[in-house]
Amino acid sequence: MSRDVLVRATDETMDHFLYRDGQLHAEDVPIARIAAEVGTPFYCYSTATLTRHFKLFDAALAGMDHLVCFAMKSLSNVAVLKLLGDLGAGMDVVSGGEYARARAAGIPGDRIVFSGVGKTREEMRHALEHGIRQFNVESEPEIDLLNRVATELGTVAPIAIRVNPDVDAATHEKIATGRKQDKFGIPIDRAREVYAHAASCEGLRVVGIDVHIGSQLTALAPFEAAYGKIAELTRTLRDDGHEISRLDLGGGLGIPYSRGNDIPPQPAEYGELIRRTVGDLGCEIEIEPGRLISGNAGILVASVLYLKKGYDRDFVILDAAMNDLIRPAMYGAHHDLVPIEEPAPGTEAEPHDIVGPVCESGDTFAKARPVPPLRPDDLVAFRSAGAYAAVMSSEYNSRPLVPEVLVSGDQFAVIRRRPTFDEMIARDIVPEWL
Ligand SMILES: *Cc1c(COP(=O)(O)O)cnc(C)c1O
């Protein structure tokens, strides 16, 4: 196997994790230098990639009144949020915790949209008291509860109603959200009735329509189908007397997780599609990209612990595990694995199962993955580990959450440090009566 199957080409549209003088760098910083200081495993993010990806979306909607709300569930470190917020990003939050993080990062309330099927009364109240651009409401009971909470506070909650357009995003089963059997939104054919009800609520002000059909979409056709339905609905609701001034078109644009696969559509093409489908309605456009901004802006760096000969295969045992990066176990996801030291030209790659130390066979990052010869203590990196990666990590097997590092040019900083065992244990409380 030739080495360029192991190593991503110098493709500026992807990321800023490239080999220089035979060493993988994050921008201008050698990964090995960070590893020596921070220890492994750790996540490493690139400000240049985050910035570039945000600006691609912002530029794609240029000329239209718009706000790019980063779906912070994909990567919610406060330093990353501040970076994007300083560029003008809004935030799409899905919990009170995310709302608090966004505010801690200095994002003003009028740039925060609150999504999610299960908002609690406390989450609604807190956001109303501290500032919110809009709630994307997903059901009639939620409409009624938000109306009550806003009325009690003597305020009016701006809302968009999330409609389920019954469009198949043709993505992984667990992240398709716009089919009629999915739990999200209200059925589009009931929209008029539900909008009429919302408009009659004194504590609510209808400002728009919201839609989000899924994640990791690799084609534009499902967006086109959904946004076409939204354009039609906008006209219908306006005819019914509703002021529809905003369209929140959700997120979902996919990223290339491995070389050689089809490259998903670019933000510019997506922007053109938005212009074509809803551009003539005079609405302010909101989009909620997560993965495309953060996915290829991060890597997970790990050390090789052991090479083990198995019954019918060879294993590479790493110090990172499924608790640190669960996407392979949870979605069968592929993450490219690259050595930090660039393999010499012509190096043979042999298939290995890449596994972690957790006591489950599910703790497998890749099966029969061709890798160049590795030795204990060698450093490796999983690519495309910026989105739905650190945010999904846990302390399973009492493995402390791994640190996060942010690189900018030739500088780097730890933006979440590794907790000590004592800090991890201190959260547990042994009752007096034990
Ligand atoms: C997850 C989610 C997004 C972001 O999806 P990506 O695929 O990461 O772009 C946007 N909006 C809502 C409502 C979501 O649930």
Distance from the CA of 82 to the center of ligand 1, in angstroms? 19
Other CB atoms within 10 A of residue 30 CB: 15
Residue 110 lies in a domain: no
- Eight-class DSSP state of 3: G
Residue 57 lies in a domain: no
Residue 69 lies in a domain: no
Q: How would you class 273 by CB atoms within 10 Å of its CB: exposed for 0-12, middle for 13-18, buried for 19 or more?
A: buried
- Taking the C-alpha atoms of residue 305 and residue 302, their distance in angstroms, rounded to an integer, is 9
Distance from the CA of 92 to the center of ligand 1, in angstroms? 8
- Taking the C-alpha atoms of residue 406 and residue 408, their distance in angstroms, rounded to an integer, is 7
Domain boundary residue, one of 265, 289, 313: 289
Q: Which atom belonging to ligand 1 lies closest to the Cα atom of 291?
A: 8
Q: Which atom belonging to ligand 1 lies closest to the Cα atom of 387?
A: 8
Q: Do both 275 and 414 map to the same domain? A: no
Regarding the beta carbon of 294 and ligand 1, being less than 6 Å apart is answered no
Q: Do both 315 and 210 map to the same domain? A: no
Regarding the beta carbon of 288 and ligand 1, being less than 6 Å apart is answered yes
| pLDDT value for 182 | 84
Look up 359 and say whether it is catalytic: yes
CATH of the domain at 259: 3.20.20.10
- Taking the C-alpha atoms of residue 253 and residue 220, their distance in angstroms, rounded to an integer, is 8
E strands, 173-323, in order: 186-187, 204-210, 246-248, 284-287, 298-309, 314-318
The per-residue pLDDT for range 394-407, each reduced to its tens digit, is: 999 999 999 999 99
Q: Do both 141 and 217 map to the same domain? A: yes
CATH of the domain at 403: 2.40.37.10
| pLDDT value for 261 | 65
| pLDDT value for 2 | 31
Residue 63 lies in a domain: no
Distance from the CA of 283 to the center of ligand 1, in angstroms? 21
Regarding the beta carbon of 290 and ligand 1, being less than 6 Å apart is answered yes
| pLDDT value for 247 | 98
Domain boundary residue, one of 260, 289, 318: 289
Q: What is the pTM of this model?
A: 0.95
Phi-psi region of 296 (alpha: psi -120 to 50; beta: other; left: phi over 0): alpha
- Taking the C-alpha atoms of residue 241 and residue 271, their distance in angstroms, rounded to an integer, is 29
Beta bridge partners of 353: 315
Q: Do both 166 and 269 map to the same domain? A: yes
The per-residue pLDDT for range 359-368, each reduced to its tens digit, is: 999 999 999 9
| pLDDT value for 12 | 44
| pLDDT value for 5 | 30
What type of residue sits at position 395? E
**Residue bearing tokens 């500032």:** 131
Q: Which atom belonging to ligand 1 lies closest to the Cα atom of 116?
A: 13
Q: Are 81 and 415 in contact (CB under 8 A)?
A: no
Q: Do both 137 and 284 map to the same domain? A: yes
Q: Are 328 and 365 in contact (CB under 8 A)?
A: yes
Regarding the beta carbon of 251 and ligand 1, being less than 6 Å apart is answered yes
Residue 68 lies in a domain: no
Q: Do both 150 and 272 map to the same domain? A: yes
Positions in the chain short of pLDDT 50: 1-13
- Reduced to 3 states (helix: H, G, I; strand: E, B; else coil), residue 199 is helix
Q: Which atom belonging to ligand 1 lies closest to the Cα atom of 252?
A: 7
Distance from the CA of 117 to the center of ligand 1, in angstroms? 13
276 known ligand binder: no
Distance from the CA of 57 to the center of ligand 1, in angstroms? 14
Q: Are 211 and 185 in contact (CB under 8 A)?
A: yes
30 known ligand binder: no
Q: Do both 323 and 269 map to the same domain? A: no
Q: Write out the residue range of the structural domain in which residue 121 sits.
A: 115-289
- Reduced to 3 states (helix: H, G, I; strand: E, B; else coil), residue 243 is coil
Regarding the beta carbon of 71 and ligand 1, being less than 6 Å apart is answered yes
Regarding the beta carbon of 369 and ligand 1, being less than 6 Å apart is answered no
Q: Which atom belonging to ligand 1 lies closest to the Cα atom of 289?
A: 9
Q: Do both 227 and 373 map to the same domain? A: no
Distance from the CA of 215 to the center of ligand 1, in angstroms? 6
Distance from the CA of 143 to the center of ligand 1, in angstroms? 21
Domain boundary residue, one of 236, 269, 289: 289
**Residue bearing tokens 């609905």:** 233
Q: Do both 304 and 283 map to the same domain? A: no
Instruction: Tell me how many domains the chain contains.
Output: 2
Residue 139 C-alpha from the chain's centroid: 24
| pLDDT value for 172 | 85
Q: Do both 262 and 186 map to the same domain? A: yes
| pLDDT value for 194 | 98
Catalytic residue among 69, 201, 283, 359: 359
Regarding the beta carbon of 115 and ligand 1, being less than 6 Å apart is answered yes
252 known ligand binder: yes
360 known ligand binder: yes
Q: Are 302 and 264 in contact (CB under 8 A)?
A: no
> Which residue is closest in CA terms to ligand 1's atom 10?
251
Regarding the beta carbon of 171 and ligand 1, being less than 6 Å apart is answered no
103 known ligand binder: no
Dihedral angle computed from the Cα positions of residues 86, 92, 94 and 100, in that order, rounded to the nearest 10 degrees: 20
Classify strands 298-309 and 379-382 as parallel, antiparallel or unpaired: antiparallel
| pLDDT value for 260 | 62
291 known ligand binder: yes
Residue 86 lies in a domain: no
Residue 434 lies in a domain: no
- Taking the C-alpha atoms of residue 404 and residue 392, their distance in angstroms, rounded to an integer, is 13
Regarding the beta carbon of 185 and ligand 1, being less than 6 Å apart is answered no
The per-residue pLDDT for range 62-95, each reduced to its tens digit, is: 999 999 999 999 999 999 999 999 999 999 999 9
Regarding the beta carbon of 53 and ligand 1, being less than 6 Å apart is answered no
Residue 327 lies in a domain: yes
